[in-house]
Structure 1
């Protein structure tokens, strides 16, 4: 769509909220199978999505109040509406460019629409409420009806101020949402957006980790009705402002899958409250850092595995904290998360080691090993090499890896261990040491086990897995606990292909 098509509003009209509705476009049924959709989409021209100028409020601030925004929903389908809320301080005119993230001949994104210009306003920072909740009730800047020809994917909105004079600077940040659908597809890419929000410290220092009682205190809430601040863990990345954790841990997989032409569709954590979402695909991928789950997500994935779904945990520290969804103050469902307890029992030595940061939890959720094969263990953090233990397994076909061969730095910054060795079909395919802080020894285990219908569940046991797949434009390789991955690796790519090919049979 041409930029001019979206700049039709006059300056007078821009003074209030706008409603964006794209020209009608013919598309196949939203529930029809479209195996070449991603290949066709990525043949279209790409555009740079990256921020050029971004100004945090201060050296230690997590926000950029000069321009920031959020969306009314985590995910949205074609034909549905999405409200976008933006604040500028001081008041400034601005525009919103909406990008779909993918491969696009290596450019990494496609410009889908340019909205505005808008006359900005400074919107209020909400007071700190019960359970340390910060929840905005901003005036909507615009309402977008998702066009029928916008494929499922992760969408970034680039917010840019429009200075009145050429010599004045402009400032930028992101907002983020997911377009999902109902169509059958080979691969379901589940974004880990619950965890993005759990760590979000906007506006001052409000996340699920900043309660003065303990870092993992129960009864603390966060709201999706607020902007994402900059990424806050292990890496100072101000150019991530407003994008959650997607650009760091999830974008390399998105870029690689679409480069390879896989039939992939996308969803948020909240979409798996509907078990039908899992039934339409052959393989689900959890990617990056997928720590925070509602019990209903757990139950639905467990049942989907029993029904034949393949699951790839290309992630770590997964399904660790039980965080039920609840409505926001306006009654909109699933807009708040509250830490209730943890999944699985802690060992006594874990309780002792982390007494100052854990709980107390009166009860625990089910054991995450039932759907992963391993669990988060103490120490939580660390880094190490990903070392092959089963070179004859089909997983390693074509990699050339031998017993004891390692992919350097691939494990980190969190991992899984203590595999469920009581499960008859479970195999440990990679294992080794990790070092937290460079001094405390831990042990990770990557595993695979069979489901009841010739399906399988693979646990890569590292948040860094996607770093071995690609390094898209604007991506930064992380570094943590005196350890780092080395970027794209043909062995990681081949293992992932083997998993997907087996999962598509």
Structure 2
């Protein structure tokens, strides 16, 4: 005899009540046993009994926030205990056995999973006739800076795939359903368990995280407010507008997002019937909302009339990604990522260099990517597909040959700023099941550790060489090196190569005015070691403007036509109308000096960045942030850009470091 069950919600908080509805395939009275397991740890946490078509779980307040599964088993009649009776809806019983999508088929022996010593084993087995129901237990109050979302919408989307009128799949089959209910059995993880690897890795790896259902994000501003980092894991394909709005606002306001997922946020769906019905027409012509509220049409996020590509939230999309499906799914175990930005914090401690391969088996069965071009052998996102300018590509995989197995394309692992927050994306479904690979594990730890902590600090944006001065003109970063060469590169977070741009005759400091004045047109200015102020002409030549600047200057700033220079710990000033330089202030150990947005910035002997107003008199230097060893400093558009002897090129926002946590 088979029992069928579903829960009234995909999540409940600690201390709340969750009701399950049951039915069976027999005329006999419905009763039996139920066991509940913490999926993350594999521990059995409850054994109970049910009698009738309704079972109520009062979730203990001391249960760990986690993903759980309840397994219902029908008992012989003589073992029937008492329970709370209720009326069971007949639609609870499926009309036929669910079909499994060819895209989801994969022998379990082929799965890349974490090593057994890191993967807790389940204490519960599901026997024939049993029914398992998954649900998340949320923390009543945040107990971790990290919140992990479980993709219940995607699980439900694949429930009863291929059954006419009952499943959202197959995607273009005319008998597919456009509306499916959460009030039915199924809707658990697929056979491949894309999410399980990371879920079972986290606790043994030392991470205590809180859990929620993806549906909790639909109106989840208050939920997310208690966390520093939201983690999306596995195969999180279906998102409502409310889910996107909530997550994007969370990140823009300073939260962070780690996407260890692929095919992420591909389809938009709507919720109806109090959140218990999932609507996804996959066809604007069939969706009545398309004519009245086109932004909520249930098509791909990047398709018309929605035109809101998921790239704007996560930097990548399946539109340019790859997929290997059905009998070819095992092909994903042949593929690896290639490192393209080894200096980035995500690769810290991995020992990986540019061009090295890593993560074999992590790529698949679907990947995401952004549109990019190669510039001097470095990938750079074009933004043509909606990817924000801040997105930097960390690793790539060329999967265009997958066109033989499903969809050819690329995979691009990357990171970006979104408002005040940071987004990291692994851009692949199977990342969590490849955590046995040391580099995948180290990168995952780097992401979780950095993005769950307060403050981001400096970020490496490339190599620097032996620079002794820098400044930004337009979108170009200029550098003067120790050999008298002028180097240039686009100013971006990507690790672009430097190119030669001419010479710098003895220049030891560079500056560019933010705005033009009659005295100082916008252009590249420099100070030389012998005390000359020089200006770079459009033809690349240098013109001497003044010859009485402080000798040995190591920093130059120009604000509103006025000049400031740093030399041997002294701040010098020359007004726009003045005829000489005057020492106006001191800062012990001051070497680097720059300006942006009407403010001076300098480094001091204590290894801090200090800032003050650009006045021609003494003024207070206030502490801003750690200088990270910087001996060369410039600023542009609200960012500090720095380097020093033996250091890479880094940048950060011109904002104070956060106060230490009490």
With structure 1 as the length reference, what TM-score do the two structures score?
Answer: 0.66
* Cα gap change, 1:270 to 1:397, in 2 (>3 Å): same
* Cα gap change, 1:376 to 1:358, in 2 (>3 Å): closer
* Cα gap change, 1:183 to 1:247, in 2 (>3 Å): farther
Q: Is the 1:320–1:376 contact (alpha carbons within 8 Å) kept by the matching residues of 2?
A: yes
Q: Distance in 1 between matches of 2:254 and 2:300?
A: 35
Q: Is the 2:321–2:411 contact (alpha carbons within 8 Å) kept by the matching residues of 1?
A: no
Q: Is the 1:322–1:342 contact (alpha carbons within 8 Å) kept by the matching residues of 2?
A: no
Equivalence for 2:448: 500
Deviations 1:326-369 (A, max 9, x none): 11xxxxx11111115599xxxxxxxxxxxxx9899761251211
1:207 aligns with 2:167: yes
Q: Secondary structure at the match of 1:113?
A: strand
Q: Secondary structure at the match of 1:391?
A: coil
Q: Distance in 2 between matches of 1:203 and 1:82?
A: 30
* Cα gap change, 1:180 to 1:191, in 2 (>3 Å): same
Which structure has the greater CA radius of gyration? 2
Greater shift in the superposed pair: 305-314 or 259-268: 259-268
Q: Secondary structure at the match of 1:86?
A: strand
Q: Is the 2:271–2:279 contact (alpha carbons within 8 Å) kept by the matching residues of 1?
A: yes
The number of equivalent residue pairs is 362
* Cα gap change, 1:312 to 1:181, in 2 (>3 Å): same
Deviations 1:238-288 (A, max 9, x none): xxxx63349701121111111123231001111112211111111111111
Per the TM alignment, residue 80 of structure 1 is displaced from its structure 2 partner at its CA by: 2.3
* Cα gap change, 1:102 to 1:405, in 2 (>3 Å): same
Greater shift in the superposed pair: 191-200 or 274-283: 274-283
Q: Is the 1:326–1:337 contact (alpha carbons within 8 Å) kept by the matching residues of 2?
A: yes
Per the TM alignment, residue 378 of structure 1 is displaced from its structure 2 partner at its CA by: 5.4
Q: Distance in 2 between matches of 1:209 and 1:299?
A: 26
Q: Distance in 2 between matches of 1:372 and 1:93?
A: 47
Q: Distance in 2 between matches of 1:223 and 1:393?
A: 44
Residue 339 (structure 1) aligned to one of 264, 270, 280: 280
Q: Secondary structure at the match of 1:84?
A: strand
| Structure 1: gaps spanning 5 or more residues | 1-64, 104-108, 120-139, 229-241, 328-332, 344-356, 470-487
Per the TM alignment, residue 161 of structure 1 is displaced from its structure 2 partner at its CA by: 2.8
Deviations 1:387-436 (A, max 9, x none): 21111211111112222222223211111112454433321111122214
Equivalence for 2:35: 97
Equivalence for 1:243: 188
1:375 aligns with 2:375: no
Q: Is the 1:152–1:266 contact (alpha carbons within 8 Å) kept by the matching residues of 2?
A: yes
Equivalence for 2:394: 429
* Cα gap change, 1:499 to 1:70, in 2 (>3 Å): same
With structure 2 as the length reference, what TM-score do the two structures score?
Answer: 0.51
Per the TM alignment, residue 227 of structure 1 is displaced from its structure 2 partner at its CA by: 0.5
Equivalence for 1:414: 366
* Cα gap change, 1:436 to 1:274, in 2 (>3 Å): same
Q: Distance in 1 between matches of 2:283 and 2:209?
A: 31
Q: Which structure has the highest helix share of the two?
A: 1
Q: Distance in 2 between matches of 1:399 and 1:499?
A: 13
Equivalence for 1:191: 150
Per the TM alignment, residue 438 of structure 1 is displaced from its structure 2 partner at its CA by: 3.8
Residue 278 (structure 1) aligned to one of 224, 235, 239: 224
Q: Distance in 1 between matches of 2:301 and 2:236?
A: 20
Equivalence for 1:111: 44
| Structure 2: gaps spanning 5 or more residues | 80-126, 285-298, 325-331, 372-380, 454-662
Q: Secondary structure at the match of 1:259?
A: coil
Q: Is the 2:239–2:269 contact (alpha carbons within 8 Å) kept by the matching residues of 1?
A: yes
Q: Distance in 2 between matches of 1:145 and 1:409?
A: 41
* Cα gap change, 1:440 to 1:144, in 2 (>3 Å): closer
Q: Is the 2:3–2:74 contact (alpha carbons within 8 Å) kept by the matching residues of 1?
A: yes
Q: Is the 1:82–1:144 contact (alpha carbons within 8 Å) kept by the matching residues of 2?
A: yes
Q: Is the 1:388–1:405 contact (alpha carbons within 8 Å) kept by the matching residues of 2?
A: yes
Q: Which structure has the highest strand share of the two?
A: 2
